[in-house]
Amino acid sequence: MAQKKKASQPSSKTLPKAPTGIQGLDEITGGGLPRGRPTLVSGGAGSGKTLFGLEFLVRGATQYSEPGVFMSFEESIPDLTKNVASLGFDLDRLVADKKLFVDHVSITRSQFGETGEYDLEGLFIRIADAVQRVGAQRVVLDTIEALFGYLPNPGILRAEIRRLFNWLKQKGLTTVITTERDQPDGLTRHGIEEFVSDCVILLDHRIREEISTRRLRIVKYRGSTHGTNEYPFLIDNQGISVLPISSLGLDHDAPAERVSSGIARLDGMMGGKGFYRGSSILASGTAGTGKTTIAACFVDAACRRGERCLFFAFEESPRQIVRNVRSIGIDLEPWVRKGLLQFHAARPTYGGIEQVLLLTHKRITSFQPSIVVVDPVTNLLMVSTQNEVRSMLTRLVDFLKTRGVTAIFTSLTAAGSMEASEADVSSLMDTWLLLKNIEVGGERNRALYVLKSRGMEHSNQIREFVLTDDGLRLLDVYLGPEGVLTGSARMSQEMREKAVVTFRRQELESRRRELERKRRIFEARMVMLRAEFEVEEEVIQQTISESELLGKEVVQDRGQMVLSRQADSSSYKKKDVSARAARKR
């Protein structure tokens, strides 16, 4: 029991941390910023330093009941209030509720000239007063360059910076100090702050190939492990969101339930039951092979089961998709009207890879779908590198699996590299449907096969499929001397097989008719023979009867003749008895 109690309690050696409430940041820091210690947030202009500090205070006050003090050395209080109002942060209300104290300290070069030697004593008094007013546990100083920028003496500068950080630490205040980064290879302008800080976070806002992207990296965190990668983050109308890959462990469930693909014969190629629920499916192929149609069939089947579907389209508009799949008998519009299907259509170039990822997360979180379609993932390569797209999709796949969402991703492949996804995400997928065009006899026909499907038996056959007015239809496999027959070659093979079957059926029917004819002839002959027999029998019987009758009449006539001559009747009788006894013997 003692051991269990000891295991359930947090170790006294664990560094206390103050959660930031910033989505994703607490995961990569292992719980937040070091409590009671200063954290340096470095970045260039427009990287989000001030917003980082304000969100740290607002979420601390609203979510963790930790009041805070924001001391600005550049922006005025009205400007700050207006700037963050668009993010849903009501600074005036927090100030009125004594959860936040906002102060603006203006420092100009003339003040240095008038006061002579610079001293932070007045600033300490001002901060201490503000902390006391609201009982603050968190403090943000924005930015340190405005505070020390006019100090000409490097020695005094170093001493005052160290003094400021030590004072904040002694007061036990969890502090965020923002600093400007004016050199790509440096974190701060003076090169001192990062050494006296317990935690250093670097915010980077870069432009690559005309696409804006933001990255966050934890450069240093004393006394604690932390994520060391460069993480994309986004600033939107709900503040900062960091999407770490390291936070998503592979501990999601693996449901045994199966869901139909919407194509009965495709289900048959996977044991007759379709995909695993919560799995990830890749449908890859060259242009025009039917990738979006496969996804539409899957969505239609899910909506018929009453499940919600979310369709991310990076290439076509929702109306275009609905119109195109309607031509093959799939009508998605009723599902849209019923609220079972939502489209989000936009080109990835509108905001960069991290914005796409964050938007995807938010849409999934708010709509709670059972099925998600991303069509196509290869369009993400327009805004980022292959490695970044793969990292983004890894995050997305893990996110979907933790929620039990079944997802189908389409991917465009180049001709000649069929068994390789251009986004290099095939290893992330549980099932891979490969679609291809087969050229035979001057025709191009569509074919499909299941390249892999983890955890289930699946067909190894290449199946031709056609798009009909009644949807996508998988056809039987026809093999010829040159391999799988498709299109006209398949139809010709079908006709030949039908001709053979028809000939055999006709031959069989002919034999049956011949047999029946012979049977009837036999029966007719039997009838005729029986009739002849009966006629002859009747004649013979009549002859026999006449002979017997004649014999009797002869005997009678002889007896009468004997009587009429009055001969010895006894001898006659004796002879008559002897004659009858002889006949009996």
Q: What is the mean pLDDT of residues 192-211?
A: 80
Would the pLDDT of 37 be above 50? Answer: yes
Residue 263 has what pLDDT? 92
Active site residue 548: no
What's the 3-state SS for 261-330?
CCCHHHHHCCCCCCEECCCEEEEEECCCCCHHHHHHHHHHHHHHCCCCEEEEECCCCHHHHHHHHHCCCC
Choose between 109 and 64: higher pLDDT: 64
Query: Using CA atoms, how far apart are residues 244 and 426, in angstroms rounded to an integer?
Result: 21
* pLDDT digit string, tens, across residues 353-385: 777 887 888 889 899 999 999 999 888 887 777
For residue 387, which phi and psi values (nearest 5 degrees)?
-65, -40
Query: Could you tell me the pTM of the whole model?
Result: 0.66
Cis peptide bond prior to 468, omega within 30° of 0 = no
What DSSP assignment string belongs to 113-182? HHH-S--SHHHHHHHHHHHHHHT-SEEEEE-HHHHHTT---HHHHHHHHHHHHHHHHHTT-EEEEEEE--
Instruction: Using a pLDDT cut of 70, give the percent of the chain over it.
Output: 85
Q: Is the pLDDT of residue 110 over 90?
A: no
So what's the pLDDT on residue 488? 74
Identify the residue with better confidence: 139 or 576: 139
Q: Where is average pLDDT lowest: 99-103, 206-210, 549-553? A: 206-210
Read off the pLDDT of residues 231-271 as tens digits, 9 standing for 90 and up: 888 888 888 888 765 445 677 888 899 999 999 999 999 98
pLDDT in tens, 409-460: 998 887 665 555 655 777 889 999 999 887 777 778 888 889 889 999 888 8
Task: Determine how many CB atoms are found less than 10 A away from the CB of residue 325.
Answer: 23
pLDDT at 474 over 50: yes
Q: What 3-state DSSP class applies to 414?
A: coil
Q: Decide: 290 and 444 in contact? Cβ < 8 Å.
A: no
For the stretch 126-159, pLDDT in tens is 888 999 999 999 999 988 877 776 666 777 777 7
Alpha carbons 331 and 354: distance in angstroms, whole number: 33
DSSP 371-387: EEEEE-GGGGGGTS-HH
Secondary element (H or E) of residue 392 = helix 386-402
Residue 568 pLDDT class (50, 70, 90 cuts): low
99 CB-near residues (< 8 Å, 6+ apart): 61, 62, 67, 68, 134
Residue 414 contacts residue 265 (beta carbons within 8 Å):
no
Active-site option among 315, 333, 422, 494: 315
Residue whose tokens read 């065009």: 437
Contact 70, 80 (CB under 8 A): yes
Q: Spell out the residues 6+ positions from residue 512 whose beta carbon is closer than 8 angstroms to its own.
A: none
DSSP 8-state code for residue 87: T
Residue-level pLDDT at 436: 86
What is the spatial distance between Cα 270 and Cα 287, in angstroms, rounded to a whole number? 25
74 in active site: yes
Q: Is 183 exposed, middle or buried (0-12, 13-18, 19+ CB in 10 A)?
A: exposed
The CA-atom distances, in angstroms, between 151 and each of 15, 161, 182, 196 are 35, 11, 18, 19
Q: Of the listed 74, 333, 422, 494, which one is catalytic? A: 74
CA 513, chain centre distance (Å): 61
Q: Is the pLDDT of residue 580 over 70?
A: no
- pLDDT-derived band at 8, boundaries 50, 70, 90: very low
Compute the average pLDDT of residues 33-48.
90
pLDDT of residue 349: 77
Is residue 187 within 8 Å of 204, Cβ to Cβ? no
Model pLDDT, residue 575:
56
What would the 3-class secondary structure string for 129-144 be? HHHHHHCCCEEEEECH
Which residue in this structure is represented by tokens 């004819």?
517
Average pLDDT, the chain: 83
Fill in the DSSP letter of residue 23. B
24 dihedral zone (left: phi>0; alpha: psi -120 to 50; beta): left
Strands (E), 387-501: 406-412, 431-440, 443-453, 463-468, 471-474, 479-480, 483-484
- Higher-confidence position of 71 and 206: 71
Whole-angstrom distance, CA of residue 340 vs CA of residue 350: 26
Section 499-508 average pLDDT: 92
Instruction: Extract long-range pairs of 485-488: CB within 8 Å, 24+ residues apart.
Output: 485/440, 486/438, 486/440, 486/443, 486/445, 486/447, 487/440, 487/441, 487/443, 487/444, 487/445, 488/441, 488/443
